[in-house]
A and B are shown apart, each in its own frame.
Chain A
Amino acid sequence: MKKIKLFTAAALALSAAFALTGCGGADDAATDTAADTASGTDAVYRTIDEIKESGEINIGVFTDKHPFGYVDENSEYQGYDVYFARRIGEDLGVKVNFVSTEAANRIEYLQTGKVDIILANFTVTQERAEEVDFALPYMNVALGVVSPESAPVTTLDNWDDSKQIIVISGTTAETYLTENYPDIPLQKYDTYANAKNALENGNAAAWANDNTEVIAYSLQNPGYVVGIPTLGSSDTIAPAVSKGNETVLNWLNDEITALGAEKFFHEDYEATLIDTYGPDYEDQLVVESGAAAQQ
Chain B
Amino acid sequence: MPDLGLDVLFKGKNMLRLLGGLWTAVEISLIAVALSIPLGILLGIIMTSKNPIVKAVTRIYLEFVRIMPQLVLLFIVFFGSTGALGWNISGELASVIVFTAWGTAEMGDLVRGALISIPKHQYESAAALSLTSAQTYIYVIIPQTVRRLIPLSINLITRMIKTTSLILMIGVVEVLKVAQQIIEANRMTSPNAAFGVYLAVLLIYFILCWPISLLARRLEKKWG
Q: Which of B92, B171, B181, B188 contacts A101 (CB 8 A)?
A: B171
The CA-CA distance from A18 to B39 in the complex, in Å, is: 11
Contact of A6 with B by CB under 8 A: yes
Q: Which of A101, A104, A193, A220 contacts B180 (CB 8 A)?
A: A193
Contacts of B138 in A (CB 8 A): none
Q: From B16, which residue of chain A is reached at the shortest CB distance?
A: A75
Q: Are B12 and A220 closer than 8 Å at their CB atoms?
A: no
Contact of A108 with B by CB under 8 A: yes
Contacts of A294 in B (CB 8 A): none
Q: From B15, which residue of chain A is reached at the shortest CB distance?
A: A73
Q: Which of B49, B104, B185, B191 contacts A71 (CB 8 A)?
A: B185
Encoded as 1 (CB less than 8 Å from any B CB) or 0, chain A from 67 to 106 comes to: 0001111110010000000000000000000011110110
The CA-CA distance from A35 to B81 in the complex, in Å, is: 11
Encoded as 1 (CB less than 8 Å from any A CB) or 0, chain B from 154 to 168 comes to: 000000000000001
Q: Are A113 and B93 closer than 8 Å at their CB atoms?
A: no
Q: Are A21 and B180 closer than 8 Å at their CB atoms?
A: no
Q: From B166, which residue of chain A is reached at the shortest CB distance?
A: A190
Contact of A157 with B by CB under 8 A: no
Encoded as 1 (CB less than 8 Å from any B CB) or 0, chain A from 103 to 123 comes to: 011001101111000000000
Contact of B25 with A by CB under 8 A: no
Q: B69 CB to closest chain A CB, in angstroms?
A: 13
Q: Are B14 and A73 closer than 8 Å at their CB atoms?
A: yes
Q: From B50, which residue of chain A is reached at the shortest CB distance?
A: A3
Contact of A17 with B by CB under 8 A: yes
Known contacts A38-B82, A276-B188: A10-B180 contact under CB 8 Å: no
Q: From B9, which residue of chain A is reached at the shortest CB distance?
A: A73
Known contacts A17-B35, A25-B90, A108-B79: A73-B11 contact under CB 8 Å: yes
Q: Which of A28, A70, A100, A221 contacts B185 (CB 8 A)?
A: A70
The CA-CA distance from A55 to B114 in the complex, in Å, is: 54
Q: Are A193 and B184 closer than 8 Å at their CB atoms?
A: yes
**Number of B interface residues in the complex (CB < 8 A):** 49
Encoded as 1 (CB less than 8 Å from any A CB) or 0, chain B from 1 to 29 comes to: 00000001001111001000000000000
The CA-CA distance from A17 to B13 in the complex, in Å, is: 36
Contacts of A191 in B (CB 8 A): 168, 180
Q: From B35, which residue of chain A is reached at the shortest CB distance?
A: A17
The CA-CA distance from A104 to B171 in the complex, in Å, is: 11
Q: A97 CB to closest chain B CB, in angstroms?
A: 11
Known contacts A7-B46, A105-B169: A73-B182 contact under CB 8 Å: yes
Q: Are A26 and B90 closer than 8 Å at their CB atoms?
A: yes
Contacts of B183 in A (CB 8 A): 64, 193
Q: B6 CB to closest chain A CB, in angstroms?
A: 14
Known contacts A10-B42, A10-B46, A73-B13: A105-B170 contact under CB 8 Å: yes
Q: Are B88 and A113 closer than 8 Å at their CB atoms?
A: yes
Q: In the complex, which residues 144-201 of chain B have their Cβ closer than 8 Å to any Cβ of chain A?
A: 168-173, 177, 180-188, 191, 194
Contact of B89 with A by CB under 8 A: yes
Q: Are B51 and A28 closer than 8 Å at their CB atoms?
A: no
Contacts of B89 in A (CB 8 A): 22, 25-26, 31, 35
Q: B44 CB to closest chain A CB, in angstroms?
A: 11
Contacts of A6 in B (CB 8 A): 46, 49
Q: Are A25 and B96 closer than 8 Å at their CB atoms?
A: yes
Encoded as 1 (CB less than 8 Å from any B CB) or 0, chain A from 20 to 62 comes to: 0110111110011011001100001000000000000000000
Known contacts A6-B46, A73-B185, A193-B184: A114-B88 contact under CB 8 Å: yes
Q: B49 CB to closest chain A CB, in angstroms?
A: 5
The CA-CA distance from A7 to B42 in the complex, in Å, is: 9
Contact of B43 with A by CB under 8 A: yes
Q: Which of B87, B169, B173 contacts A35 (CB 8 A)?
A: B87
Contacts of A100 in B (CB 8 A): 168, 171-173, 177
Q: From A25, which residue of chain B is reached at the shortest CB distance?
A: B93
Q: Which of A24, A28, A72 contacts B12 (CB 8 A)?
A: A72
Contact of A14 with B by CB under 8 A: yes
Selected A-B contacts with CB under 8 Å, 18 pairs: A3-B51, A14-B104, A21-B97, A26-B93, A35-B87, A39-B87, A64-B185, A66-B184, A66-B187, A70-B181, A70-B185, A78-B185, A190-B169, A191-B180, A196-B187, A220-B188, A220-B191, A221-B191
Known: A66-B188, A73-B11, A220-B188; 8 extra A-B contacts, CB below 8 A, are A3-B49, A3-B54, A13-B42, A21-B97, A38-B82, A78-B185, A99-B171, A111-B83
Ranked nearest first, the 3 interchain pairs of A and B with the lowest CB-CB distance are: A73-B12, A25-B93, A35-B88
